[in-house]
Structure 1
Amino acid sequence: MEPFKNLINTGTVQRAGQHLQRVWPAFDRQGFELRAASGLDALEFKARAMQLADALESALPADFADAASVLEASLAPPIPLDARGEPAGLSDAQGEQGLSGWVVWSMGDYVARRGMDDVPRALRCLHALTQRFSAEFAIRPFIQRAPDAVLATLAQWVEDPSVHVRRLVSEGSRPRLPWGLRLQALVADPTPTLPLLRALQDDPSAYVRRSVANHLNDIAKDHPELVAGWVREHLRAAGPARTALLRHASRSLIKRGHAPTLSAWGLGQGLLGRVSLSLSATRAAVGDEIALSVSLASSSAQPQDLLVDYVVHHVRANGSTSPKVFKGWKLTLGAREQRALSKRHSLRPVTTRVLYPGKHRIELQVNGQTRAHADFDLVN
């Protein structure tokens, strides 16, 4: 499998030099390419992107407005959408017309470095860049430094004809965007972005709506009651698309068993009945899997909507434990019904989690309430 870092390579640098010189003949293509490609193979992905941005900074016009015009003129046509409304790749012919893709990340970083003294011009440039990649990282320093001006522009962009620009409104202002600058003011108080999310949550594009869901999920990490209230309010008269958005926005709170969120989804009532959990083994090795067997028995004369998840308390390097919630089952348990459920849980290491030996506990959550548990010893 090709390393991710190779998405920015010497070919990327050469294409950037070609198109920048095409639109600005005075561009020092040779000096730019030498600086951008120097030692590139030894660098990881983000370092490659920043080195390319350094080279842009040394080679573009000193006047930012002139430099922004050069960047805009070098761009390929906007990225088209596929039949599902998702971004599709440019054809070879379209790609030959100008720049798009990962190189645009470096261009956005250049705008963030040099455009802070002319925010309106910088935002117009990001408006163009985001239609060829995403300017979600580049816009964040502007939100941090000039929040009023940027949020006023984003409020206009919620009605932009470009799906890429409308998505940027939500994605660029997420409080905790992965890989991006954390917007601490919005972590503390997310209310400035709520009108933007309200305007976009029924956007015709699933690409935009998914960003709104992720933005709300970010907010839920610091303001769970706000998001629970949002779900309760906006579920009323919601169609299938908005309902799916709100469920995706609720995912972290539901996994945590957050009672107000579960209540908003009609899952606030604990199970009336009995629950049991058993494991296929009391001892398992790293790399194996272990089977969970669940038994539910209703004592109610009415059907019950249930969300059944399980929590694995992983042993950490220092001997303490850390809980991780895993998706289980969503079901309606009939009146007086008994139901058996089963699932196999992998004990293979993954890049985001190291498995250490020791006693692990698995807890079964039913509508957010812990109703049963079982232990097993993990060995190397």
Structure 2
Amino acid sequence: MGAMDELISPAVVARLRAAMEAVAPTGDFSALARAEDEVPGLRLRERVDVVRDALLRDVPAGFPAARRVVRDVLDGPHLEGWMIWPVTEFVASRALESGSTRDFDAAMALLARLTVGLTGEFAVRELLVARPERGLHIMRTWTGHDSEHVRRLATEGSRAYLPWAKRVPWLLAHPRATRGILDATYRDPAEYVRRSVANHLNDLSRVDPSVVTDVAAAWAGDPDAHTPRLLRHGLRTLVKRADPAALSLVGFTGNDLHVARPRIAGDVVPWNGDLTFTAAVTNHGETDATVAIDYSIGFRRANGSVSAKTFNLGSRRIAAGGSAVVTKTHSFRPITTRTYYPGAHDVTVQANGVLSPSETFVLERADDDRRQSGARS
């Protein structure tokens, strides 16, 4: 199992059980005790579910009991780190079982307290699915909270495509619904919050690009010192798509560009080796251009298809009639987020969204594969 899965280990579950027993000494936490033996071998999300379900079995029914025990544990020193995640899910589950508006609001408030120790962003999605408008109304009040963690819960928990989290269909159908949260936090003093705002904005570019450029234009008209950087990060997907409004908002210009086919230093890349290429970008316009340059690699997949991934190469200022040559070395050494497969790949360079012709290269097989192939022949 991966290191991430071990974040909720038997020892972590045991500490959570001890924290619960400290505030409810007459309680029966046998399900939590069993969970200590059940979590090994499971993925992180599965471990969260096991511990949440154990809490649901051990803590007396009804949201008031759940609220009371969680608040008592919060008042002590023992609830900390990753054990908080299943506790947040337990709180949301009990509130939804109740169906009460009062319990819903109390659960939202409890998640705001819990998020300071880790995060409540995954549990809040359950509440948003059930009551999106009421949930967003409460989250809007968090944007003025003293804690940057609570302010970030507002921006992160309401993202359209929050990683690892349940989708909230209502948010996808109403992409302007979080505008109030974003407007209240784009000039937040904490980089932690502003980065969440930028990721939230980038998520919306997959839903409705016009919403993103409208919001970004308003912020560009009322910026602070951090707004340009936030916009560059929040508009990154639209810039790669050469959206004219997004390019203009982050200061990229030039509408008569040509990008030559990349030139590769050798058309075969060794396994665990590097791809090095150059490409020329020419500005045929009559004025200087500020150009966003990216490159895409078409990675071969297990089924033989090719899936492209775009990477940033930086920016260049190119004089009218001039050219800039860019060089990049891309590593094919092992990483945890991608599996490489031998065979034909391709590379493309783009400037303000203007694409070069693609160039093909071959990733060699691993040494072990080549030896096995030789043995068979």
Class of the TM-score when normalised by the shorter of the 2 chains = 0.7 to 0.9
Q: Report Cα offsets for 1:230-258 as digits up to 9, x if no partner.
A: 22332124233122111111112222333
Report the AA paired with residue 311 of structure 2: F
The answer to whether the 8 A contact 1:36-1:54 is kept is no
Q: Which residue in 2 is equivalent to 1:57?
A: 56
**Hey, what's the Cα distance between the residues in 2 that align with 1:219 and 1:67?**
35
Alignment of 1:328 with 2:309, yes or no, is no
Alignment of 1:3 with 2:3, yes or no, is yes
**Hey, what's the Cα distance between the residues in 1 that align with 2:327 and 2:165?**
39
Q: Which residue in 2 is equivalent to 1:88?
A: none
Secondary structure at the counterpart of residue 199 of structure 1: helix
Report the AA paired with residue 95 of structure 2: G
Q: Which residue in 2 is equivalent to 1:90?
A: none
Counterparts in 2 of 1:297 and 1:141: CA distance versus 1, 3 Å: closer
**Hey, what's the Cα distance between the residues in 2 that align with 1:318 and 1:54?**
38
Kindly state the Cα deviation for residue 336 of structure 1 after the two structures are TM-superposed: 4.9
Report the AA paired with residue 114 of structure 1: R
Alignment of 1:152 with 2:122, yes or no, is no
Kindly state the Cα deviation for residue 37 of structure 1 after the two structures are TM-superposed: 0.9
**Hey, what's the Cα distance between the residues in 2 that align with 1:105 and 1:146?**
21
**Hey, what's the Cα distance between the residues in 2 that align with 1:7 and 1:45?**
7
Q: With the length of structure 1 as denominator, give the TM-score of the two structures.
A: 0.87
Q: Report Cα offsets for 1:243-276 as digits up to 9, x if no partner.
A: 2111111112222333332233232523456745
Q: Which residue in 2 is equivalent to 1:373?
A: 358
Identity of aligned residues (%): 32
Match of 2:79 among 99, 109, 112: 99
**Hey, what's the Cα distance between the residues in 2 that align with 1:208 and 1:164?**
8
Q: Where does structure 2 lack aligned partners over 5 or more consecutive residues?
A: 366-377
**Hey, what's the Cα distance between the residues in 2 that align with 1:158 and 1:326?**
33
The answer to whether the 8 A contact 1:271-1:306 is kept is no
The answer to whether the 8 A contact 1:169-1:196 is kept is yes
Alignment of 1:191 with 2:176, yes or no, is yes
Secondary structure at the counterpart of residue 240 of structure 1: coil
Counting matched residue pairs gives 360
Kindly state the Cα deviation for residue 346 of structure 1 after the two structures are TM-superposed: 1.7
Q: Which residue in 1 is equivalent to 2:35?
A: 36
Which stretch has the larger CA shift, 302-311 or 37-46? 37-46
**Hey, what's the Cα distance between the residues in 2 that align with 1:273 and 1:172?**
41
The answer to whether the 8 A contact 1:255-1:326 is kept is no
The answer to whether the 8 A contact 1:256-1:325 is kept is no
Kindly state the Cα deviation for residue 129 of structure 1 after the two structures are TM-superposed: 1.0
**Hey, what's the Cα distance between the residues in 1 that align with 2:6 and 2:327?**
42
Which stretch has the larger CA shift, 207-216 or 251-260? 251-260
Q: Which residue in 1 is equivalent to 2:93?
A: 113
Alignment of 1:23 with 2:12, yes or no, is no
**Hey, what's the Cα distance between the residues in 1 that align with 2:317 and 2:117?**
45
Counterparts in 2 of 1:334 and 1:239: CA distance versus 1, 3 Å: farther
The answer to whether the 8 A contact 1:271-1:304 is kept is no
Secondary structure at the counterpart of residue 35 of structure 1: helix
Report the AA paired with residue 88 of structure 2: G
Q: Which residue in 1 is equivalent to 2:372?
A: none
Report the AA paired with residue 9 of structure 1: S
Which stretch has the larger CA shift, 163-172 or 151-160? 151-160
Secondary structure at the counterpart of residue 62 of structure 1: coil
**Hey, what's the Cα distance between the residues in 1 that align with 2:277 and 2:52?**
51
Which stretch has the larger CA shift, 174-183 or 351-360? 351-360
**Hey, what's the Cα distance between the residues in 1 that align with 2:28 and 2:40?**
22
**Hey, what's the Cα distance between the residues in 1 that align with 2:305 and 2:184?**
44
Q: Report Cα offsets for 1:262-315 as digits up to 9, x if no partner.
A: 233232523456745311012223322111112345455643201111122223
Kindly state the Cα deviation for residue 27 of structure 1 after the two structures are TM-superposed: 2.2
Secondary structure at the counterpart of residue 40 of structure 2: helix
Q: Report Cα offsets for 1:339-365 as digits up to 9, x if no partner.
A: 332110122354443333433222210
Counterparts in 2 of 1:219 and 1:128: CA distance versus 1, 3 Å: same
Alignment of 1:280 with 2:265, yes or no, is yes
Counterparts in 2 of 1:191 and 1:69: CA distance versus 1, 3 Å: same
Q: Which residue in 1 is equivalent to 2:191?
A: 206
The answer to whether the 8 A contact 1:68-1:111 is kept is yes
The answer to whether the 8 A contact 1:307-1:330 is kept is yes
The answer to whether the 8 A contact 1:126-1:135 is kept is yes
The answer to whether the 8 A contact 1:104-1:133 is kept is yes
Q: Which residue in 2 is equivalent to 1:48?
A: 47
Q: With the length of structure 2 as denominator, give the TM-score of the two structures.
A: 0.88
**Hey, what's the Cα distance between the residues in 2 that align with 1:114 and 1:263?**
48
Root mean square deviation, CA, Å: 2.3
**Hey, what's the Cα distance between the residues in 1 that align with 2:303 and 2:20?**
53
Which stretch has the larger CA shift, 279-288 or 304-313? 279-288
**Hey, what's the Cα distance between the residues in 2 that align with 1:183 and 1:346?**
37
**Hey, what's the Cα distance between the residues in 1 that align with 2:123 and 2:144?**
21
